[in-house]
Amino acid sequence: MKLRQLITAYLKDSSYQPMTREELADAFEISHNNEEMFFALLRELEREGRLRFTKKNRIMLQRPQAVRGTLSASDRGFAFFIPEDGSEDVFIPAHSRKGAMDGDTVEIRITEVPEGDKNAVGKVLRVQERARNEIVGTVHKKRKFGFVTPDDTKFDADIYLPKAQLKGLAEGDKVVVNVKYGKGDRGPAGEVTERIGKSDAPGVDITAIARTFQLPHTFSKRTLREAQMLDAQIDPTGRTDYRDDFTVTIDGPDAKDFDDAIGIEKDGDAYILRVHIADVAHYVKPASALDKDAYKRGNSVYLLDRVIPMLPERLSNDLCSLRPDEDRYTQTVEMRIDTKGNVLDYQLHESIIRSDYRLIYPDVSDFLEGKEHPFTDHALREKLTLMGELYKIVDAMHTKKGSLDFAFAESEILLDDVGNPLEVRRAERRIANKVIEEFMVLTNEVVGAHFARLEIPFLYRIHEKPTEEKERALRTLLHNFGYSIKGKEVHPTDLQCILTDSEGKKEQSLLHMFILRSLSKARYEREPGVHFGLATKFYSHFTAPIRRYSDLVVHRIFKRHVQNNPPRTDKRMIAKLDEIAEHVSETERMAENAEREVEDLKKTEYMAQFIGETFDGIITSITSFGMFIQLENTVEGLIHVRDLDGYYEFNESNYTLSRAGDDDGYHLGQMVRIVVHDVDVDRREIDFRLAAGGEANESTGAK
């Protein structure tokens, strides 16, 4: 028996009394010359989690404790365990997962205590709760059985289908299966619950992603029946009547749900801004079938060629859509704003409007930018001019207080009639888009602050400052570009100054991306709290009740308040708001992940046609395994460190890759010329290689 095993057995003995390392060495009759080797072995056993030292430096057996948490799997087999108690993540090798899948709740045991900055290593003891019972994948048929290969590459097991399950299915069909997990080493088996269609049929790829993220795709019959039975008649009783006011909607060319409208006028030096939001709460009552379906969805989801709406079309595209020349119920925030952007006073109303025009962003931008436009109505041109004036005032006010206005590149993906990507390009964000954004932000601020002052249960949008770790990393990145954050704490004004200072410079988009990555994820909470990104103490989501359940909840509280009904402050209401806040924060994350997955799919499909072609790009991220390059069209790919010429070391302090003894290397923001080497559509991965020479012509944009 080896010495390490003898030590473990000795400590396990019921008669053992804790000893110091010297006493234990004496017990094993270790000679003085071999003591250091013995002590080193004890330290190794401690790192492995087999023994521990007490506060008095006495040695005891380390009883392996099961730790509970969630498994986050990679698509390479290994995983990380995220403990419930918030402690450091634990690395789980592929052979130690014991059948656990991504998102499962598991118990693990630590098998290796970390050294330095490394993660501890562990093994899964048992799966306590499965994260998913439905999997989307592709059918493969054998003579007597079949199997489904999951679309999600993090689900690293094929799903067995008995022969009876193959009836009506063809090779390559995309399906949804209900998974029954095997015990021990037995793999999962499945029951087909839905045939989506042939894998290569138009639209099936995006439908499969929607199913993978378990996005609800049908409304209940009761919900649809309720929607059809809603009364379309408009009764102005008890509402402020704005139908004679000049009002417009401004949306994208393809929009169908117009849930916000703008009215504006000048009163002396002050501006009167009226923001009218569709009164969805008038139609969707708490505990109704409509409400239950809306709550379940949490928000609408936008997947390039389709929208998965929160509400049926009867509401989103009809009764609650603020179409021109039609009377519509609204909830209105009327604000009086001075020439410095301060809200001097405001009023909240239940209201009724009749929109005069349905305008689109490109036309309004053309007008405000002094370009050729289609507007001949003098009154309309006058109102748009006022909007442009007020936008500049409000934007300057928000910028001064530190509200972060990002200018990094967002993607626009054009598809043909069958869903093939025709073009990937930078999305335009012109002045008309910014006008509406600023007016909506101001409205959400006013509503949030109003209800915070009342101190009644409400739903707020919270955005915390960056964590200490992310702040340190951001300071380093900014320093590398010659920018700095003064003081011990980062404030929104510090970051806004950097955004302003970088305007027009080649690093502008990159710095915007770095700052955005450093920020915490926004979420919903019942208690008020700061919104760091907007530099405001109180913020709500009020302006999009057709597509966000959070806004619908706010509208209900708003409606109760303006009707002079006492606010609900009971424990049940408080608990309900806490539950809603957590739920809609989660559905928002799910929607964002699904939208990102669809975007990544179409980007990889698009780039597959360019294998072997050369592009210019900018280094946006550097890690120990390589560097990510973003092309002018917003597509990102990886140059793996193994594919560079020679051995490169990653310098974590300044985010560079360099060769020992060589000043040449790669840094963030550097322009490089790449060749598209490989595209893996299933993994959504694009591999680049450096082109001959590697240096980009900085005056030449990527395709």
- The pLDDT of 172-191, averaged and rounded, is 89
Between residues 66 and 587, which one has the greater pLDDT?
587
CB neighbour class for 175 (10 Å; exposed up to 12, middle 13-18, buried from 19): buried
Query: What confidence tier does 587 reach under pLDDT thresholds 50, 70, 90?
Result: very high
Taking 80 as the threshold, does the pLDDT of residue 700 lie above it? no
3-state class (DSSP) for residue 194: strand
- The pLDDT of 381-404, averaged and rounded, is 96
Q: Hey, what's the torsion of the CAs at 176, 178, 180, 181, to 10 degrees?
A: 50
Between residues 396 and 692, which one has the greater pLDDT?
396
Query: What confidence tier does 190 reach under pLDDT thresholds 50, 70, 90?
Result: very high
Query: What confidence tier does 614 reach under pLDDT thresholds 50, 70, 90?
Result: very high
Q: What are the φ and ψ backbone dihedral angles of 111, each rounded to 5 degrees?
A: -110, -15
Q: What's the CA gap between 255 and 262, in Å, rounded?
A: 16
CATH topology of domain 3-61: Arc Repressor Mutant, subunit A (1.10.10)
Q: What's the CA gap between 116 and 680, in Å, rounded?
A: 35
484 CB-side CA count, 13 A: 4
Taking 50 as the threshold, does the pLDDT of residue 590 lie above it? yes
- Whether the Cβ atoms of residue 635 and residue 603 lie closer than 8 Å to each other: yes
- The pLDDT of 57-76, averaged and rounded, is 84
- The one-letter amino acid code at 33 reads N
- Helix-, strand-, coil-residue percentages of the chain, each rounded to 5: 30, 30, 40
Q: What is the CA radius of gyration of the chain?
A: 30
Alpha helices, H only, 481-570: 492-501, 508-518, 549-562
- Whether the Cβ atoms of residue 77 and residue 156 lie closer than 8 Å to each other: yes
Taking 60 as the threshold, does the pLDDT of residue 504 lie above it? yes
- Is 611-695 assigned to CATH 2.40.50.140? yes
How many CB atoms are closer than 10 A to CB 154? 16
Q: What is the mean pLDDT of the chain?
A: 92
pLDDT of residue 85: 79
- The pLDDT of 617-636, averaged and rounded, is 94
Q: What are the φ and ψ backbone dihedral angles of 299, each rounded to 5 degrees?
A: -170, 165
Query: What confidence tier does 695 reach under pLDDT thresholds 50, 70, 90?
Result: low
- The pLDDT of 403-428, averaged and rounded, is 91
Taking 50 as the threshold, does the pLDDT of residue 363 lie above it? yes
pLDDT of residue 434: 96
Taking 60 as the threshold, does the pLDDT of residue 699 lie above it? no
Q: What's the CA gap between 335 and 349, in Å, rounded?
A: 11
Distances (CA, A) of 381 to 353, 357, 358: 20, 12, 14
Q: Using the structure block, give the residue that is written with the tokens 């380093």.
A: 476
- The pLDDT of 409-424, averaged and rounded, is 94
Taking 70 as the threshold, does the pLDDT of residue 696 lie above it? no
3-state class (DSSP) for residue 90: strand
Taking 70 as the threshold, does the pLDDT of residue 184 lie above it? no
* CA nearest neighbour of 506 among 379, 696, 322, 645: 696
Query: What confidence tier does 253 reach under pLDDT thresholds 50, 70, 90?
Result: very high
Q: What's the CA gap between 263 and 355, in Å, rounded?
A: 9
CATH topology of domain 134-201: OB fold (Dihydrolipoamide Acetyltransferase, E2P) (2.40.50)
- The one-letter amino acid code at 278 reads A
Give yes or no on whether 3-61 and 611-695 have one common fold.
no
Specify the pTM.
Answer: 0.86
- Whether the Cβ atoms of residue 690 and residue 677 lie closer than 8 Å to each other: no
pLDDT of residue 212: 94
Query: What confidence tier does 664 reach under pLDDT thresholds 50, 70, 90?
Result: confident
**Of 55-64, 91-100, 184-193, which range is least confident?**
55-64
Domain borders along the chain are 3-61, 67-129, 134-201, 445-573, 611-695
Reported as a single tens digit per residue, the pLDDT across 516-547 is 888 889 999 999 999 999 999 999 999 999 99
- The pLDDT of 632-637, averaged and rounded, is 96
The enclosing H or E element of 293 equals: helix 289-297
- The pLDDT of 131-151, averaged and rounded, is 94
Between residues 156 and 456, which one has the greater pLDDT?
456
pLDDT of residue 702: 32
Reported as a single tens digit per residue, the pLDDT across 72-93 is 999 888 999 999 877 789 999 9
Alpha helices, H only, 81-196: none
Query: What confidence tier does 697 reach under pLDDT thresholds 50, 70, 90?
Result: low
Taking 80 as the threshold, does the pLDDT of residue 48 lie above it? no
CATH topology of domain 67-129: OB fold (Dihydrolipoamide Acetyltransferase, E2P) (2.40.50)
- Whether the Cβ atoms of residue 552 and residue 283 lie closer than 8 Å to each other: no
- Whether the Cβ atoms of residue 319 and residue 230 lie closer than 8 Å to each other: yes
Give the total residue count for the chain: 703
Percent of the chain residues topping a pLDDT of 70: 97
Q: What's the CA gap between 508 and 50, in Å, rounded?
A: 52
Taking 70 as the threshold, does the pLDDT of residue 98 lie above it? yes
* CA nearest neighbour of 638 among 609, 664, 602, 600: 600
Q: Compute the C-alpha angle 357/443/242, nearest 5°.
A: 45
DSSP string, 311-358: S-HIIIIIITS--BTSEEEEEEEEEEE-TTS-EEEEEEEEEEEEBSEE
